[in-house]
Structures are given as C-alpha cells and as structure tokens.
Amino acid sequence: MTQKFDVVVIGAGPGGYVAAIKAAQLGLSTACIEKYTDKEGKLALGGTCLNVGCIPSKALLDSSWKFHEAQDGFAIHGINHAGVTMDVPAMVGRKANIVKGLTSGVATLFKANGVTSLQGHGKLLAGKKVEITKPDGSTEIIEAENVILAPGSRPIDIPPAPVDNNVIVDSTGALEFQAVPKRLGVIGAGVIGLELGSVWSRLGAEVTVLEALDTFLLAADTAVSKEALKTLTKQGLDIKLGARVTGSKVNGEEVVVNYTDKDGEKTITFDKLIVAVGRRPVTTDLLAADSGVSLDERGYVHVDDHCATSVPGVYAIGDVVRGMMLAHKASEEGIMVVERIKGHKTQMNYDLIPSVIYTHPEIAWVGKNEQQLKAEGVEVNVGTFPFAASGRAMAANDTGGFVKVIADAKTDRVLGVHVIGPSAAELVQQGAIGMEFGTSAEDLGMMVFSHPTLSEALHEAALAVNGGAIHIANRKKR
C-alpha cells in the first residue's frame, strides 16, 4: 500500500528539516527525504549547512583565530608563552565531531517530533507523487497532499580550474586539509573564499585571492567594503581584483594558474587551489517532465512571493529559489510555507534578511546600503561610530571597524545597519529587530544600552545620525 503524508519534504538542509519539524508540530503527517551520507556511509541530515558549509567552516574559523590570538594577541594581556603549534588533524577532527553532533541532533529532533525520515533521492512526479530512489537502487513511490522542494545547492565548477579533490578543491575539500599549504590560491573573493582564505592564512599559508570583479564585496556598503579590504590585506590576504582565471595545470602536487588583469596575462603557482566562485541550485533529476513545476532561465525553481510553484500544493524553498543563498532565509521560508499550508497568512520580509561574513573582524549588514539608497534618490542621514572609541572593544583589544546606521532624512526611519568589527553579526541582528518594527534612529538613541558593551556602538551610531553622539565628535547633520 502506498504511503501518504500531509507533507513530504525533499531535502533535509536548514530549509527542509526546519519545515519538516514545523509541519509535524502543527499536526501534519510529515516525511523528509534525504540522500546525503557521511564518510561512514550513514545518513547525515542537516544539508550543506551542517555537513560541509556554515557549521564546519565556523569551527575552523574559531580554531584558527584562537591560534592566531595565541601567537600574536596574548602578549598585550600580559600572557607570556612560547612554542605554540597547531595540530591540523586535531582541528579538523574537532570540526568533524561538531558536525556529527549536530546532524545526529536533527535525527533526534525528527524522532521527537514524529517526522518520518526516508533515505534516498527524491523526485517529484505528476499528481504530487514522490519517487524515492534508495541507496540500493530500488525505488518507492509515496503520495503527498503537499510537497516542499528543498534540495539546496552545490559549488559552481569552472572549466579553467576543474576540481580534482586533491590539488584543486571546492569549498568542501578546503575543510579537509590535513596540513597547512605553503602557497594557497583562492578563486573568488566572496563570503566562502574570504572565510576559507582567512582560516589557512592564520595558520601560516601564503594566501592569494583571485577575484574577477574590479569591485570588492559589491553587495556591501562601500565604506564597509573599503575597510574590509584594508584590514584583510593587512592580515596577509593578497587580494587581486580584476583577476580573471583563464586556465590551470596541475603538475604533481602543485598547480599553475593562468589569469588576466589590467596588465595582461600572468601565471602564479600554488600548492592548493580553492574554487569558491559561488553555488548553483541542485535540480538534477528533481522534477519529472510531467511534474508541472518549471525552472526559470537561471535554473531556479519558479515560485511566487510565498514560495508556491505553479502546481497547487507544491512549494520550493532555500537555495533552489530566487534570492540570497542563506541558511536562515531557507529556514524562515520553510516555516512560512508550512504555516500557509495550515491556512495562516504568514509572510516573510525579504528586505530584512541579514548577511554575515565570518572573517575577523566580522562583516554584517541588514537593509539597504548607502549607494543603493542614493541610486534610488532617497535622501539619507548617516551616523557612524568606531569601535576604537568603544570601552568594551578596547578592553578586549578588538577595536577595528565601525557601526554605520542609515536613516531616511525625512522620516528618520532606519533603512540600513552595517557593521564591520567584533560581534558584527549580533549587532546587526539588533538593528534588524528594530527595523522590523519600523524603528527610527531617534528610537534607538533613546533606548538604554547596558555598559560596557559592544552594543553601545550601535547606540552611538544611531545618535550620530542626528548629530547627537556622546562619545565621538559629531559631524554636521546632512
């Protein structure tokens, strides 16, 4: 007898597993299909984020930063030491243990909430039927009242630098180095490239980042991107803008990379090369020809503002649909879809999805940046506050960067918060909360912030919007 569920989710990443748990919590019979397995061949839930993305990269970032601090940052605190070394296999092993704990945690949550976990490749057929191809090659068809497509994304391959999983690797391979490469190349100066480049640079690699665009961090506020480029360069990352890779050749245990820049054709040799030029949606064998669901011109599943496809009862979320490829976006889309299945009018505010780069200093923003608003003809007032004037940042010896608050000049409503500095992700989230409720810069300035905290920098930047900052000299109000 064919199994039938109220909700079938294809993919157990941060969008899929959250949607499945929420559906079960709302009383819907739910199944979640996932094919990804770990090195031991066991089903590993959590998608790219938990297995080979957000979580493992942050584990390595934290470990490498602690090593950097031990080498170069302890003396100022009066902590004397000598001979600090890094055991790379132990660092990578710690990362693996964190991943294993979290992925098994998702399995536990499925069990606790009554989600049926099915292992295999899910494919949407006509009539909201789903075909599951199991690890042994056998197939099973289940039926659903509602289907949520959450297959995620994979790294983009580029012909000039084909990944061999040895010398040339993608973002997944870069998490598994067992030794620090002497010369490391990174193609792409986006979030992934900068984070992975930072990890291995801190451990002693000579890192060169080749970025095809002439502009650094195009999506970030110009003031933030300029500060980030200056800081990361000072940390040792050799970031070459306008450098388009045209070819590569692996010679034994090194790779020669050809690229062009404003001065013409050049070559450079690395011991390892990371290809980090972005990600693409996973739609391979996801949709039967008669499923009724269509892809747009870029290969994404076509959906409306509420993630509904053209087939009633079929939805798609996360990296496989329009918008930024972010785990938190996928999770909230999953919750929105499930609540709408239950008849609620839940919506998502796509204008207030925070972006974070976990370099050091962290880089984060929410809302619009100054160049976007100027291009739209919006008159704004801007307030900034440097962490160099923050008592808490000084106490922690972490004073690089600033907080920037942008407000509408007519209404004083906050339109964007941009941070580069310590705990940027947390400070931007404070801004996002306020912006969700239509806060003004004056509102933020009137709130009481505890002292001494890094959050006070947000408070002061909001005050500075209208020329009222206390702990820096104010610029004239625009």
User: In this structure, are residues 38 and 153 in contact, taking their beta carbons and an 8 Å threshold?
Assistant: no
- CA distance readout (Å), 108 to 115, 146, 391: 10, 24, 43
- CA distance readout (Å), 296 to 21, 281, 302, 320: 29, 11, 6, 11
CA dist 469 and 446 (Å) reads: 11
Closest CA to 52 of 119, 107, 102: 102
Burial class from Cβ neighbours inside 10 Å (0-12, 13-18, 19+) for residue 75 reads exposed
* Secondary structure element (H or E) that encloses residue 101, with its range: helix 88-113
* Secondary structure element (H or E) that encloses residue 207, with its range: strand 206-211
Is 451 catalytic? The answer is: yes
Look up residue 97 and give its two tokens: 């243990």
Closest CA to 181 of 202, 204, 162, 161: 204
CA dist 199 and 88 (Å) reads: 11
- Angle among Cα 213, 416, 360 to the nearest 5 degrees reads 60
CA dihedral 169, 173, 174, 177 (to 10 degrees): -110
Look up residue 60 and give its two tokens: 């390595």
Q: Which residue has the tokens 């106490």?
A: 395
Q: What are phi and psi of 464, to 5 degrees?
A: -65, -25
User: In this structure, are residues 154 and 282 in contact, taking their beta carbons and an 8 Å threshold?
Assistant: yes
Look up residue 206 and give its two tokens: 């000579």
Residues in contact with 476: Cβ distance below 8 Å, sequence separation at least 6, in sequence order: 467
Residue 366, SS3 per DSSP: strand
Among the options 302, 451, 459, 471, which is catalytic?
451
The number of CA neighbours under 13 Å toward the Cβ of 214 is 2
Strand partners, 141: 131
Q: Are strands 272-275 and 279-281 parallel, antiparallel or unpaired?
A: unpaired
CA dist 163 and 343 (Å) reads: 46
Which DSSP category does 440 fall into?
A: B
- Asked if the bond preceding 361 is cis, omega within 30° of 0, the reply is yes
Q: Which residue has the tokens 């239950």?
A: 342
Strand partners, 123: 131
Would you name the residues annotated as active-site residues? Answer: 451
